Structure 1
Amino acid sequence: TYNQDHQTPDSAGTATAYLCGVKTNMGTIGVDAQIVRGHCDTTQAAKITSILDWSLAEGKSVGVVTTTRVTHATPAGTYANTAERNWEGDSDMTHVTGGCKDIALQLIEENPDIQVIMGGGRRFFLPVDATDPERGSNTAHGRLDGRNLIDEWMNDKKRRHKSYRYVWNETDFNTVDPAQTDFLLGLFESSHMQYDIDRNDPHYEKAGEPHIKDMTEKAIQILSKNPKGYFLLVEGGKIDLAHHGSRPVRSLHDVVAMDLAVDKAASITNNQDTLIVVTADHSHTFVISGYPQRGNGIFDLMSSRPGYISLAKDHNPYTTLLYGNGPGAHSTRADLRNVDTTSKHYTYQSAVPLSAETHGGEDVAIFARGPMAHLLHGVREQNYIPHVMAYASCVGDYNAHSHCAASATHHSTATSNIFG
């Protein structure tokens, strides 16, 4: 999972690898390794294309679903080319010269044929003086160019006589009829969507957000109307964000949510014509430690036998789940005997004190079912993944391969479980 220039990767470089088939530098998206991070003038020569582009070129439908901002590193890997992952909106580029576009603008201006876009990140699509329907003021990260990219997206679909819906809450989402909708834009939060454990907590969410399982189902229902097939990226991105805060209760609830999304995708597709790939872009410094007895609560203190709490050399108990680094490190470990370690708010202990936990650099798993799934086995470089998906769905460099003549219809559903 390494980036071209870092042993332990970030999500921008890894997204480029498994979506574009090319290893690149940390913090850059949709470009090769000749890019210089943060240098706009190095972008043009370094631009590359993704499996989303290859699929569009063959007439397939394409979509992106995430629980992060739709301009975040992983979803942006399908459509953006940028020297800096943090250029999500034009307010992030006030000191940038050279004519580079922010990621939100690239999505709307340069990718009008992405049929499904769902996630968070409204703030980068609305003017700075606009009122966000859920959060009110948009001054923190609103667009400085005064453009309303949501309106521009809708106007483009009107002009092209396309059936479309824009939704920003769960109620409106539930009214979307896939049979009558060819383009769907859902921006359900000003920033990232809520953690799954917080979706129904009124302290965090008042307007309501759809579950990632339901977004996945609706996306497939819309995209699968195309007889030429489709490509779909689904990211459970809040899994990663919770780990950065050393809060595995939140993270693992999002893992369960992602598992439900994968199960839904498998249940409504045919493994004879749909390739489903589930992987992570990187790991975290997250460990399952000690020798806990079977049945010991995963969020509880380490216990090796009934009625016994295991103690470390400092005579304090410790949790089964720990982090190698992160905000949970202190010079003296706290006594956890009277601490609710199962709380979603609890920050788990870590060894090295950092303001945020980092990614890990070890290999990650990849699972696949469907056409050409047998090609995903053993140890592979991360940038191998999109070549398998492209080969299976007859797009990109593989559109004229001999096996493509066997069937006029090829579907490739890339359902990605991203810990990053």
Structure 2
Amino acid sequence: MNKIGLTALLLCAPIALANESPAQWYADGEAELAQALAMQPNTAKARNVILFVGDGMGISTLTATRIYDGQRQGKAGEEHRLAWESLPYVALSKTYNTNLQTPDSAGTMSAMMTGIKTGFSLISVNQNTRLGDCASSRGNEVPTLLQQAQAQGLATGVVSTARLTHATPAATYAHAADRGWESDADMPESARRLGCRDIASQMMTAGLDVMLGGGKRSFVPVSAGGKRTDGRDLVQEWKTSARGRFVQTAEELNRADQDSPLLGLFSDSHMAYELDRTAGQPSLSEMTRQAITRLQKKPAGFFLMVEGGRIDHAHHAGNAARALGDGKALSGAVQTALAMVDLKDTLVIVTADHSHVFTMGGYSVRGNPILGLVTTPGQKGPEVATALDGKPYTTLGYANGPGYAENLPMAQRDDSKAKAGRHLHNKVDTRQLNYYQETLVPLESETHGGEDVAIFAGGPWAHLFHGTHEQHYIYHVMRHALGLEVKAE
């Protein structure tokens, strides 16, 4: 497709791309049908499984990210495809926790990793565990797919732009009665006395071959600038016991040898949003490339989980620009992986743990900037649309969160925002990085959404994703594809 500037595109009447026509739409449909008819299920045993999780990447985020990515490449955007949209099989995942209609990341990722649903804020323990109760978790730990893969000789890795002790990565290797127990300082004294271990210490003894992400503070003592109150430096302990390599910058990551276990902690807490990232931190694509390069050296195959963790955080802040920037980064990581593996022997899954109350609407013309004000067709070209209050509104918005007039960040306020209500006007640049979309309900932090999320898959047994599934079904497909033998309890 030719690159068409958005300004020129918006002045076209009717709105259309230069090479589009009724005949072309029909031909495209026939080509897609032929491609579908030629699909044959791959029933070979998977040598490798890569699970990509876009934290908080609901359907509306997928669509908006597609348009955002396309527009960054000079396209209209709607016709664009993200990397995972080349995968042949698509299904839906029901995300509720056993005790919540709208879920959190701990319960949802635990479902994907253990094969059973569980409760809010629990890390790979079953629903009989009481939140924050160490004693109740004893005997209710559930083996994860990563642990089962290790038991049968597979290499394993975890990559995330969030803290590696955060809910999504933690659910691959740890078991905890509270997702907040990231370091010993985060645990109640009663839990420590009973022998429950913090998530960081569990990660250091989990036998992982590759660990790349943020969260250094949970691994080092207060005396070294961390959070730990037990005086332990888990990084040094791990380097000694596992004879592993530790890196803290993108340059060190690229120079690290590829034959030793690798730990990379690139920030004290979460890594930077992609649109704020500096050269010192590796991108999600770079971390994915380094992980696959190392894991591919293992003869028995591997399991790798890659999380775009900060899509979720940007949504909680009500900041669509950074959410879409990190969604685009996840697409780049998937593209990197697909170029490095063969779908004949590698099952690749791209999904989300949950959605957000993030909306897209307003009848904008084709190619309208996805972060912009709604523009509708007019006699002389696109015109900024106004609501019943006479004010413009954006294509993207949130049902709740901090983007309510009284809660807006100081940088986005002016004297007109002395009271609640909409104060958006045509001179506001809604496409700037620090714009916070308007919300209906004022909350300190925007909430998750409860609707289904998508599953995209390709490779061995990917055809088993075929309809609407309970979220824990994802584990069962991965286990089956790898041929893991699980002993009956």
Band the TM-score falls in, shorter-chain normalisation: 0.7 to 0.9
Q: Which blocks of at least 5 consecutive residues in structure 2 are unaligned?
A: 1-94, 406-419
Taking structure 2 as the reference length, the TM-score comes to 0.75
CA contact (8 A) 1:87 1:103 kept: yes
Match of 1:17 in 2: 111
2:219/2:228 contact within 8 Å kept: yes
* 1:173 to partner: Cα distance: 1.0
Q: Which residue of 1 aligns with 2:197?
A: 101
Does residue 347 (structure 1) correspond to residue 436 (structure 2)? The answer is yes
SS of 1:397's equivalent in the other structure is coil
Q: Shift in Å at residue 366 of structure 1? A: 0.3
> Aligned partners of 2:331 and 2:469: how far apart in 1?
23
**Given the alignment, which residue of 103, 117, 125 partners 2:219?**
125
**Number of the residue aligned with 1:395:** 484
The 8 Å contact of residues 275 and 371 in structure 1, kept in 2 or not, is answered as yes
Structure 1 residue 6: Cα displacement: 0.3
* Aligned mates of 2:297, 2:230 — CA distance in 1: 37
1:76-87 map, 5 Å: 76-87=170-181
Letter in 1 for 2:254: N
Question: CA–CA distance in 1 between the matches of 2:269 and 2:245?
Answer: 20
Q: Secondary structure at the match of 1:365?
A: strand
Query: 1:198 is matched with which residue?
Result: 276
Q: Is 1:232 matched with 2:304? A: yes
> Aligned partners of 1:145 and 1:397: how far apart in 2?
36
1:68 equivalenced with 2:143 (yes/no): no
Higher-Rg member (1/2) = 2
**Residue of 168, 175, 180 corresponding to 2:255:** 175
Please list, as runs of the form range in 1=range in 2, the aligned pairs for 1:25-44 lying within 5 A after superposition: 25-44=119-138
Displacement after TM superposition at 1:148 (Å): 0.2
Query: Using the alignment, how far apart are the partners of 1:371 and 1:189 within structure 2?
Result: 36
* Conservation of the 8 A alpha-carbon contact between 1:197 and 1:253: yes
Q: Would you say the 8 A contact 1:118–1:187 is kept in 2? A: yes
Asked if the contact 1:64/1:75 (under 8 Å) is kept, the reply is yes
Report the Cα distance in structure 1 between the residues aligned to 2:480 and 2:169, rounded to whole angstroms: 21
Query: Contact 2:376–2:382 (CA<8 Å) still a contact in 1?
Result: no
Residues 391 and 398 in structure 1, CA contact (< 8 A), matched pair in contact too? no
8 Å CA contact retained: 1:118, 1:186? yes
1:265-280 equivalent positions in 2, closer than 5 A: 265-280=337-352
Structure 1 segments unaligned to the other structure (5+ residues): 131-136, 159-163, 201-206, 400-420
Q: Does 1:376 align with 2:465?
A: yes
Match of 1:152 in 2: 237
Does 2:291 match 1:219?
A: yes
Residues 1:7 and 2:101 are matched in the alignment: yes
| Paired amino acid for 1:309 | V
* Structure 1 counterpart of 2:266: 188
C-alpha distance in structure 2 between counterparts of 1:3 and 1:316, whole Å = 39
**Matched position secondary structure for 2:375:** coil
Counterparts of 2:120 and 2:221 in 1: how far apart (Å)?
A: 30
What is the CA distance between 1:96 and its match in structure 2?
3.7
Q: Which residue of 2 aligns with 1:411?
A: none
Task: Give the fraction of aligned pairs with identical amino acids, expressed as a percent.
Answer: 46
> 1:103, 1:316 → 2: CA distance?
48
State the alpha-carbon separation in 2 of the partners of residues 295 and 273 from structure 1: 39
2:350–2:456 contact (8 Å) kept in structure 1: yes
Partners in 1 of 2:181 and 2:112 — Cα distance?
Answer: 21
Q: CA deviation digits over 1:288-329, x for unaligned, max 9?
A: 011111010000001112341111111111100000111012
1:42 match: secondary structure: helix
Letter of the aligned partner of 2:425 in structure 1?
L
Distance across 2 between alignment mates of 1:291 and 1:397: 51
Shift, 1:49, TM fit: 0.8
Can you list the C-alpha shifts for 1:373-414, whole angstroms capped at 9, x where unaligned?
A: 000111000000011011111114399xxxxxxxxxxxxxxx
Structure 1 residue 121, shift from structure 2 partner: 0.3
Secondary structure of residue in 2 paired with 1:78: helix
Give the TM-score normalised by the residue count of structure 1. 0.87
Say which SS state the counterpart of residue 129 (structure 1) adopts.
helix
In the alignment, the residues of structure 2 paired with residue 230 and residue 59 of structure 1 have an alpha-carbon distance, to the nearest angstrom, of 9
Displacement of 1:63: 0.4
Match of 2:398 among 318, 323, 333: 323
| Matched AA of 1:389 | M
Contact in 1 for aligned 2:355/2:450 (Cα 8 Å): yes
What is the distance in 2 between the residues matched to 1:150 and 1:182? Answer: 15
SS at match of 2:460: coil
Partner of 1:408: none
The SS at the match of 1:317 is coil
Deviation at 1:94, TM superposition (A): 4.1
Instruction: Tell me which of the two structures has the higher relative contact order, counting C-alpha pairs closer than 8 angstroms and 6 or more residues apart.
Output: 2
SS at match of 2:472: helix
Please state how far the C-alpha of 1:275 moved relative to its aligned partner: 0.2
- Alignment check: 8 A CA contact 1:390 1:398 kept: no
SS in 2 for 1:87: coil
SS at match of 1:324: strand
For 2:388, the equivalent position in structure 1 comes to: 313
Deviation, 1:242, is 0.4
Q: For 1:398 and 1:283, how far apart are their aligned partners in 2?
A: 34
**Of 318, 337, 340, which aligns to 1:246?**
318
CA drift at 1:237:
0.4
Deviations 1:116-167 (A, max 9, x none): 001000000010010xxxxxx43xxx10000000001100123xxxxx3210
Q: Deviations over 1:5-61 (max 9, x none)?
A: 000000000010111111000001110000100111111121101110110011000
1:166 aligned residue: 246
